[in-house]
Structure 1
Amino acid sequence: MVKLLHENLWNRHLRTESEGLTNTQRVIQAKIGSLGSQFQEWENHEGEILNQKRS
């Protein structure tokens, strides 16, 4: 009985831990995506400045 209870708690812990990791990965991916789009905007802005200087 105690062993079964322990296994249930352990399995719940593992499931919760893997879900937590998934949430962490989602946050990291969102931040990376945000940085990527910020960099793209900066790159476009730099390109516009260079084009204006050439004109």
Structure 2
Amino acid sequence: MLLANPHELSLLKERNPPLAEALLSGDLEKFSRVLVEQQQDRARREQERIRLFSA
């Protein structure tokens, strides 16, 4: 688990501070919400990229 691995946790804090903060809060709902929002944002950006290349 990320919490048990200081190196991985440090990388998460550096690369994805909002997700690290949600993880460290201990609030599973918050962590899940942040993770899903990030996944949705990534999917929207990818769809837009594909749309632009297809135009």
Cα deviation for residue 23 of structure 1 reads: 0.2
Normalising to structure 1: TM-score of the pair?
0.52
Which residue number in structure 2 is paired with residue 13 of structure 1?
A: 28
**Corresponding position of 1:36:** 51
How far off its partner does 1:26 sit?
Answer: 0.6
Question: Per-residue deviation at 1:22?
Answer: 0.2
Greater Cα radius of gyration, structure 1 or 2 = 1
**Distance in 2 (alpha carbons) for counterparts of 1:26 and 1:35:** 14
Aligned counterparts of 2:34 and 2:44: Cα–Cα separation in 1: 15
Q: TM-score when scaled to structure 2?
A: 0.52
Higher helix share: 1
- Which residue of structure 2 aligns with residue 44 of structure 1? none
Residue identity (%)? 3
Superposed CA RMSD: 1.6
Aligned residue pair count: 31
One-letter identity of the residue aligned with 2:52 = S
Q: Is there any run of 5+ residues in structure 2 with no aligned partner, and where?
A: 1-24
Post-superposition Cα deviations, 1:2-42, rounded to whole Å, max 9, x if no partner, equal xxxxxx84xx10111011000000100000000000001xx
